[in-house]
A and B are shown apart, each in its own frame.
Chain A
Amino acid sequence: MKHTLVAAAISLALAATASAQLKIGFVAELSGPQAPLGQDQYDALMLLIEQNGGKLGGVAVQVIKEDSQLKPDVANQVVDKLLEKDKVQIITGVTFSNIMMAVHKKITDKGVFLIGSNAGPSPIAGAQCSPYFFSTSWQNDMQAESVGKFASDKGYKNVIAMAPNYQAGKDFIAGFKRTFKGGSVIDEIYTPLNQQDFSAELAQVASKKPDALYVFYPGGLGVNFVKQFQQAGLNKSITVMSASTVDGTTLPALREAALGWMSGTFWGPDFPNEANQKFVAAFEKKYNRIPSQYAAQSYDAAQLLDSAIRKVSGKVDNKKAFHAALKAADFKSVRGNFKFNTNQFPVQDMFMFDVAKDAKGRVSLRTVAKPLVNHTDSYAAQCQMKAL
Chain B
Amino acid sequence: MTAQLALSQLLNGLQLGVLLFLLAAGLTLVFGIMSFVNLAHGSLYMLGAYFGAATFAKTDSFTLAILAATVGAGLVGLLLDRFALTKLYTRDHLDQVLATFGLILFFNELIRMIWGPGSIFMQVPDALSQTVDIFGFTYPSYRFAIIGAGLAVALGLYLLIQKTRVGMLIRAGATHPHMVASLGVNIKWLNTLVFALGAALAGLAGVMSGPIMSVQPGMGEPVLILTLVVIIIGGLGSIRGAFYAALIVGVVDTLGRAFMPTIMRGIFERNTADAAGPALASMLIYLFMALVLALKPQGLFPATAGATR
Residues of A at the B interface (CB closer than 8 Å) are 31-33, 35-36, 39, 165, 188-192, 194-197, 199-201, 203-204, 206-207, 220-221, 223-224, 227-228, 231-233, 249-250, 252-257
> Given known contacts A190-B278, A192-B282, is B5 in contact with A231 (CB within 8 Å)?
no
User: Of all chain A residues, which has the CB nearest B282?
Assistant: A192
Q: Is the CB of A254 within 8 A of B5?
A: no
Q: B43 an interface residue at 8 Å Cβ cutoff?
A: no
Q: Is the CB of B9 within 8 A of A203?
A: yes
Residues of A within 8 A of B119 (CB): 33, 220, 223, 250, 253
Q: Is the CB of B212 within 8 A of A253?
A: no
Chain B 109-163 interface residues, beta-carbon cutoff 8 Å to A: 112, 116-121, 123-124, 129-131, 137-140, 142-143
Bound Cα distance from A191 to B258, whole angstroms: 10
Cβ proximity bits B180-213 to A, threshold 8 Å, 1 near / 0 not: 0000000000000000000000000000000111
Q: Give A34 Cβ to nearest chain B Cβ, in Å.
A: 8
Residues of B within 8 A of A254 (CB): 121
Bound Cα distance from A192 to B30, whole angstroms: 31
Residues of B within 8 A of A188 (CB): 274
User: Of all chain A residues, which has the CB nearest B250?
Assistant: A197
Q: Give A277 Cβ to nearest chain B Cβ, in Å.
A: 26
Complex partner residue of B211 from A194, A196, A227, CB under 8 angstroms = A227
Q: B298 an interface residue at 8 Å Cβ cutoff?
A: no
User: Of all chain A residues, which has the CB nearest B261?
Assistant: A189
Bound Cα distance from A196 to B215, whole angstroms: 11
Q: Give B261 Cβ to nearest chain A Cβ, in Å.
A: 7
Residues of B within 8 A of A32 (CB): 117, 217-218
Q: Is the CB of A199 within 8 A of B254?
A: yes
Q: B35 an interface residue at 8 Å Cβ cutoff?
A: no
**A-B contact sample (9 more), CB < 8 A, given A195-B282, A196-B214, A224-B212:** A33-B117, A36-B116, A197-B12, A199-B254, A200-B255, A204-B258, A220-B119, A227-B212, A233-B140
Q: Give B260 Cβ to nearest chain A Cβ, in Å.
A: 10
Q: B303 an interface residue at 8 Å Cβ cutoff?
A: no
User: Of all chain B residues, which has the CB nearest A29?
Assistant: B117
Q: Is the CB of B214 within 8 A of A220?
A: yes
Residues of B within 8 A of A252 (CB): 118, 121
Q: B175 an interface residue at 8 Å Cβ cutoff?
A: no
Residues of A within 8 A of B274 (CB): 188, 190
Residues of A within 8 A of B70 (CB): none
User: Of all chain B residues, which has the CB nearest A254?
Assistant: B121
Bound Cα distance from A250 to B121, whole angstroms: 9
**Which of A165, A190, A194, A197 gathers the greatest number of chain B CB atoms within 10 Å?**
A197
Residues of A within 8 A of B258 (CB): 200-201, 203-204
Q: Is the CB of A200 within 8 A of B218?
A: no
Show 6 residue pairs from A and B whose CB-CB distance is below 8 angstroms, ordered by the A residue: A35-B118, A192-B279, A199-B12, A200-B12, A203-B8, A206-B137
Bound Cα distance from A250 to B117, whole angstroms: 12
Q: Is the CB of B214 within 8 A of A203?
A: no
Q: Is the CB of A192 within 8 A of B212?
A: no
Bound Cα distance from A254 to B124, whole angstroms: 11
Residues of B within 8 A of A207 (CB): 2, 4-5
Q: B257 an interface residue at 8 Å Cβ cutoff?
A: yes
Bound Cα distance from A250 to B116, whole angstroms: 13
Bound Cα distance from A192 to B213, whole angstroms: 16
Bound Cα distance from A35 to B108, whole angstroms: 13
The count of chain B contact residues (Cβ–Cβ below 8 Å) is 47
> Given known contacts A224-B213, A252-B118, is B16 in contact with A197 (CB within 8 Å)?
yes
User: Of all chain B residues, which has the CB nearest A204?
Assistant: B258
Q: Give B89 Cβ to nearest chain A Cβ, in Å.
A: 32
Q: Is the CB of A232 within 8 A of B138?
A: yes
Bound Cα distance from A376 to B120, whole angstroms: 36
> Given known contacts A199-B143, A231-B142, A233-B138, is B117 in contact with A35 (CB within 8 Å)?
yes
Q: B216 an interface residue at 8 Å Cβ cutoff?
A: yes
Q: Give A31 Cβ to nearest chain B Cβ, in Å.
A: 7
User: Of all chain A residues, which has the CB nearest B12?
Assistant: A199
Q: B306 an interface residue at 8 Å Cβ cutoff?
A: no
Q: Give A217 Cβ to nearest chain B Cβ, in Å.
A: 10
User: Of all chain A residues, which has the CB nearest B214?
Assistant: A223
Bound Cα distance from A39 to B212, whole angstroms: 25
Q: Is the CB of B120 within 8 A of A191?
A: no
Cβ proximity bits B245-278 to A, threshold 8 Å, 1 near / 0 not: 0000000001101100100000000000010001
Bound Cα distance from A39 to B137, whole angstroms: 43
**Which of B8, B9, B116 gathers the greatest number of chain A CB atoms within 10 Å?**
B8
Residues of A within 8 A of B12 (CB): 197, 199-200, 203
Residues of B within 8 A of A223 (CB): 119, 213-214, 216
User: Of all chain B residues, which has the CB nearest A250?
Assistant: B119
Residues of B within 8 A of A203 (CB): 5, 8-9, 12, 258
Q: Is the CB of B214 within 8 A of A232?
A: no
Q: Give A198 Cβ to nearest chain B Cβ, in Å.
A: 9
Q: Is the CB of B2 within 8 A of A224?
A: no
Residues of A within 8 A of B143 (CB): 199, 231
User: Of all chain B residues, which has the CB nearest A38?
Assistant: B117
Bound Cα distance from A224 to B278, whole angstroms: 19
Bound Cα distance from A256 to B129, whole angstroms: 12
Bound Cα distance from A207 to B274, whole angstroms: 19
Bound Cα distance from A232 to B129, whole angstroms: 9
Residues of A within 8 A of B278 (CB): 165, 190-192
Q: Give A298 Cβ to nearest chain B Cβ, in Å.
A: 17
> Given known contacts A33-B119, A249-B118, A253-B121, is B217 in contact with A232 (CB within 8 Å)?
no
User: Of all chain A residues, which has the CB nearest B141?
Assistant: A231
Residues of B within 8 A of A195 (CB): 257, 282
Q: Is the CB of B5 within 8 A of A201?
A: no
Complex partner residue of A194 from B138, B142, B222, CB under 8 angstroms = B222
Q: Is the CB of A220 within 8 A of B222?
A: no
User: Of all chain B residues, which has the CB nearest A252?
Assistant: B121
Bound Cα distance from A204 to B259, whole angstroms: 9
